[in-house]
């Protein structure tokens, strides 16, 4: 695929809120939870079963995520800004079911792993 076609590919991720996230987690055990904050932020408290790939390294780690191209992927950060960027990168690279958590981790009301 050419560079121009990658740039012009439409972004296709869905923004969800904390309540929608909780319903997703209750109904789907196969969702990939992707924390795009720094490692320090991740270890200070993260959503259970989340993997950490900081947003500034996500482009270099796409091959690590290839097996999830057709799986649901929840992306979150501290406020929603970095997760929007990561969701855009994922959707532009063929990931089909990407969900961005609006408001970041503060909108998650469940228990955090430390």
> Are 33 and 49 contacting, i.e. CB atoms less than 8 angstroms apart?
yes
DSSP state of 113: B
Marked catalytic residue, from 47, 55, 77, 89: 77
Q: Is 77 a catalytic residue?
A: yes
DSSP state of 42: H
Catalytic residues: 77
């Amino acid at each position: 695929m050419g560079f121009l076609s990658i740039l012009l590919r439409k972004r296709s991720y869905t923004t969800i809120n904390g309540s929608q996230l909780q319903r997703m987690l209750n109904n789907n055990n196969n969702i990939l939870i992707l924390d795009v904050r720094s490692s320090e932020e991740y270890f200070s408290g993260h959503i259970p079963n989340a993997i950490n790939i900081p947003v500034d390294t996500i482009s270099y780690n796409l091959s690590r995520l290839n097996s999830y191209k057709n799986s649901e992927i929840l992306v979150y950060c501290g406020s929603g800004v970095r997760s929007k960027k990561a969701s855009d990168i994922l959707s532009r690279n063929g990931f089909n079911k990407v969900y961005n958590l609006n408001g970041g981790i503060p909108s998650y009301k469940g228990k955090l792993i430390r």
